[in-house]
Structure 1
Amino acid sequence: MRFFSYSFLLVFSLSSIVFAQKKMKIGYELIVKDLDIPWGFSFLPDNSILITEKEGELIHFKNGKKKLVEGMPEVTLRGQGGLLDIALHPNFKENKLIYFTFASSEGEEKGANTSLMRARFENNKLTNQEVLYKAEPNSRKGQHFGSRIVFDNQNHVYFSIGDRGNRDENPQDITRDCGKIYRLNDNGSIPKDNPFVKIPNAKKAIFTYGHRNPQGMEINPFTNQIWTHEHGPKGGDEINIIQKGKNYGWPVISYGLNYSGSKFTEITEKKEMEQPLHYWTPSIAPSGMAFVNSDIYPNWKGNLLVGSLKFQYISNCTLENGKVVEEEKILEGLGRVRSIEQGNDGYMYAGIEGLGIIKIIVK
């Protein structure tokens, strides 16, 4: 077990957030070692863990051992695409259903796009595999597949798909997939009250649009709202609260720039487009997020943890009245933080590229 002491004061001026001075010992215990890109993971009722490796392997970690799950579909490795997020059905104890997203080449066009699959997990095998949604068309581009998955308290499944590198056509067009957050019933059917079901030619599964590449999504356990974060380009990473039918603006409004430093838009706000709850400039490349809802971390309860791929730390965000008022960088330099979850035991866990899954310890 390793511990680090933190004491610093930094001003993050462009987002008007102060990294406050703190003194505490924050450490970690390596729970699952030797993972490459642990994109997502979920704790089963018996405290074992299902872990997605981007290269296409689904790993079941139980009693200190890793086993590959049998029955996985063919996963396409293309740029940022591969095996992505995973979530358990809220009634997993009874139905043994899991849901996961992955890059799939199925379809007439060459390339790949993001799919959502449901399957039954039992005895280390997947059966009854069923693709519930497949974004179209395939693209040969390698960027912005998304993806995260959450369930609400009515067992609707939400999942995100990035704009697939086509910012000028996909995100603002509800007749096209990509750059969207989708909502389905748990069996893959379209909820009757989805926002665009009565609009001709619209993709009926769309819940919100105008997104770039959401790689964080979580239900706020204190409000039941859906929170997401997404990658901006050079700056302009965002945290958003997702509301039915809303337009989150990409690429019409943004606090970011092209990677060259040039502008692609002159405006940061527009009528009928949602403002981010919070944004980062410069970009931290956020991936994974989880709310702290545990008495194990009394000073953090109610906080939001966000992983940074670019700077290799976890941002411990203090929230007040639904706003980020303070950020603390913790566990810097372990590696690119890809995924974060709260375990059944109340501890916070993070998937670190090239390291594995760690348990966060505070003293």
Structure 2
Amino acid sequence: MSKLKVFLLSFVGLVVAVGLAALYFWETGNLDMYVPMFAANCGECHGSDLRGSETATALIETNLEYGDTVADLIASIKNRHDGTGSPDFESTLSRQQIKGLSIYIAERRLGQRFTDFRFDTEVVVQEQPLQSEEHLFRIELFADNLDPMAFCIEPMRDGSLLLTERERGLSIISPDGIQSELISGTPQTGDSLDIMGIKYGTGWLLDIAKHPNYENNNWLYLHYTDLCPTDCVDSEPLDTSMNRLDRGRIKDGEWVEVETIWQTDPAWYTSRADTGAGGRIAFDDSGHVYISVGMRDAYGPQDMNNPSGKIHRVNDDGTVPADNPFVVSTGNSPDELPFTQQTIWTYGHRSPQGLEWNYKQRSVWNTEMGPRGGDEINELLAGRNYGWPYFSLGLEYSGGDVERHKPRNIEFDTSTIEQTLVDITPSPAISSFAFYNHDRFAHWKDNLLLGSLKGSSLFRYVFDGNKVVHKETLIKDLARIRDVEIGYDGFVYLLLEVKNGSKIVRLVPVA
């Protein structure tokens, strides 16, 4: 693919996927809109650096009397607590501006800068053990000098890891941390271009997962974006791609015996970049496999003929389950429906990042990036609408509510939206997660361990059913955590996305 084509591809992807943020920064000189807004409205008292003044308290690096959640901060701005002499902001600022300022303050309290994606973070693995609420552990470097675009690790019983690198291919990391040569025969990967630190391109290897009965059948499932040449879609002048799920086996260093499990019609292939493609895989305990397809098209998540912005469910051999929600709701057999509708499990997804089977709840869960605010942990219930792009608890990058149905005069009832289990605002750009299912860290049993990209931190969530009852930050300011996996040894493996060479580290308990 030529550099010109890559650039054009990148620009289109920039507008449609997560690149809306990058485009906004580009147009405004890399400026967060709330920096000047805060300085103009709050800086005289609280200081433009949020460190306070003689007339008002600091807003960072100190406890806040009236609370520090986004809701608390909104209330503080609106209520003008007695004796503070603060202005009547409700008469001068819109509801969205007050919410945006509150998110900005909360971000700064966490040490986050909205315009800092942490691509250049230098990884420092601490030698000293870390004390969490329940366990003392250390961080060990397991593998180093991997491709910056590493995406997925899959633990194997022998202590090795499978590794996908989006632009390179599939390899194996040995139990002592040595990377193999690339497995031959995997799908072709495409070029990409770096714009403001974000990679854009088409044709990437994404997730890889073992079949639940792998020890007996050796099936591996590979999720990737399938490249299609320029003549694949008549309306597209560039090479196009779309999510695809294959299964195959690794024999003698080759990807062989390949079968296609899920693939959509070529009409839905797009030149928009794979940055927001989703690309994860999960298996339930009843023979089904789920895949996440991100917002490859601006309004695709609400279009039931469009595969984008959906979680899809098929049997592990690629056939369509008779109890899929839109098969049941129409009363048709699967082959009487358009293929996309046959396989939809849930819809209305923006940028699904993690996808896992919750073995205690016996339901599939996902994590999802919002815009500015509104990152989500969801339980994915059959046939439900998760809202994008008509509803989000976050704000648009431009500062407005997420209400894209209004410009199109679309009737939309927000009460029909399945609300998230956990709203994470401000957004740390959450990524992959895992349910901890081993005795090595006994007090983390069944907890959800969640990575983050911009936040560069690892979080632990404790649930009672589908209600979160506790949250802990296990590691702070490590690096962009792209994948979280639990090894057969009970160690927690983290794939760190690093510009000068990705790394794999693991959490090991200290006796």
TM-score w.r.t. the length of structure 2 is 0.64
Give the counterpart letter for 1:323 in structure 2: K
Q: CA deviation at 1:361?
A: 2.4
Change (3 A) 1:302 1:269: farther
Q: Does 1:98 align with 2:210?
A: no
1:151 corresponds, among 256, 272, 283, to 283
Aligned partners of 2:241 and 2:456: how far apart in 1? 29
Q: Given the alignment of the two structures, is residue 14 of structure 1 paired with residue 70 of structure 2, yes or no?
A: yes
Q: How much does 1:23 deviate?
A: 8.5
Q: Contact 2:459/2:475 (CA < 8 Å) preserved in 1?
A: no
Going from structure 1 to structure 2, the CA distance change for 1:356 and 1:27 (only over 3 Å counts) comes to same
> Please, what is the CA RMSD of the aligned residues?
2.7
For residue 166 of structure 2, what is the amino acid of its counterpart? K
Distance (Å, rounded) in 1 between the aligned partners of 2:252 and 2:362: 33
Report the CA distance between 1:119 and its aligned residue: 1.0
Q: Deviations over 1:17-71 (max 9, x none)?
A: 9x9x959644211112222233111122322211111223211122432112121
SS at match of 1:71: coil
Q: Which amino acid counterpart does residue 269 of structure 2 have in structure 1?
A: N
* SS in structure 2 of the partner of residue 339 of structure 1: strand
In structure 2, distance between residues paired with 1:264 and 1:29: 41
Q: Matched residue of 1:312: which SS?
A: coil
Structure 1 pair 160/330, CA: closer, same or farther in 2 (3 Å)? same
Say whether the 8 Å CA contact 2:458–2:474 is kept in structure 1.
yes
More helix by share: 2
Q: 1:38 corresponds to which residue?
A: 150
Amino acid at match of 2:70: L
Alpha carbons 1:171, 1:211 under 8 Å: kept: yes
In the TM superposition, 1:58-77 aligns within 5 A as: 58-64=170-176, 65-67=178-180, 68-77=182-191
Which has the larger displacement, 215-224 or 273-282?
215-224
Q: Report matched runs for 1:106-185 at 5 Å.
A: 106=228, 108-109=232-233, 110-135=239-264, 136=266, 137-142=268-273, 143-164=275-296, 166-168=297-299, 170-185=300-315
Displacement after TM superposition at 1:80 (Å): 6.7
Quick one: which amino acid aligns to residue 423 of structure 2? Y
SS in 2 for 1:251: coil
Partner of 1:205: 343
Which residue of structure 2 lines up, in the alignment, with residue 226 of structure 1? 364
Residue 27 of structure 1: which of 118, 122, 138 is its match? 138
Which residue pairs with 2:379 in the alignment?
241
Q: How many residues align?
A: 352
Q: 1:342 offset after TM fit, Å?
A: 0.8
> Aligned partners of 1:207, 1:282: CA distance in 2, in Å?
28
Q: How far off is 1:132 after superposition? A: 2.2
In structure 2, what is the equivalent of residue 47 of structure 1? 159
Shift of 1:217: 0.9
Larger Rg over CA atoms: 2
Please state whether the residue corresponding to 1:299 is helix, strand or coil: helix
> How far apart are the structure 2 equivalents of 1:177 and 1:225?
21
SS of aligned partner of 1:187: coil
**CA deviation digits over 1:315-355, x for unaligned, max 9?**
11122342223322222222100000111112211111124
Residues of 2 paired with 1:311 and 1:275: CA distance? 23
Distance 1:45 1:124 in 2: 18
**Counterpart-to-counterpart distance in 1, 2:137 and 2:158:** 27
Query: Are the equivalent residues in 2 in contact too, given 1:180–1:208 (CA < 8 A)?
Result: yes
Distance in 1, Cα, partners of 2:68 & 2:243: 35
Distance across 1 between alignment mates of 2:68 and 2:172: 40
SS in 2 for 1:94: helix
Post-superposition shift, 1:177?
0.9
Identity fraction in percent: 35
Inter-CA distance 201–134: structure 2 relative to 1 (3 Å threshold): closer
Instruction: Give distance in 1, aligned partners of 2:339 and 2:261.
Output: 18
Counterparts of 2:347 and 2:374, CA distance in 1: 17
Give the match's secondary structure for 2:326: coil
SS of 2:443 mapped into structure 1:
coil
Residue identity matched to 1:91:
N
Kindly report which structure 2 residues correspond to 1:296-335, keeping only aligned pairs within 5 A, or say none.
296-335=440-479
Structure 1 window deviating more from structure 2 (231-240 vs 129-138): it is: 129-138
Question: Which of 287, 297, 301 does residue 431 from structure 2 map onto?
Answer: 287
Mean CA deviation greater in 131-140 or 332-341: 131-140
Distance 1:218 1:287 in 2: 12
Partner of 1:265: 403
Secondary structure of 2:216's partner?
helix
| Cα shift readout 1:152-183 (whole Å, capped 9, x = no counterpart) | 1122111100011x232x11111111100011
User: Cα–Cα, structure 1 residues 216 and 160, in superposed 2: closer, same or farther, change >3 Å?
Assistant: same
Alpha carbons 1:80, 1:144 under 8 Å: kept: no
Distance 1:332 1:205, change over 3 A: same
Cα deviation 1:106-154 (Å, max 9, x = unaligned) = 2612322211111112232210123322345122222410021011112
TM-score, structure 1 as length reference = 0.89
Alpha-carbon displacement from aligned partner over 1:221-267 (angstroms, at most 9, x marks no partner)? 22222110111111111111011111111122210121122223299
CA offsets, 1:168-201, max 9 Å, x none?
2x11111111100011111111112212233743
Instruction: State the SS of the aligned residue for 1:340.
Output: strand
Higher strand share: 1
Q: Is the partner of 1:177 in helix, strand or coil?
A: coil
Code of the aligned partner of 1:14: V
Deviation of 1:97 (Å): 1.1
CA apart distance, 1:298: 2.5
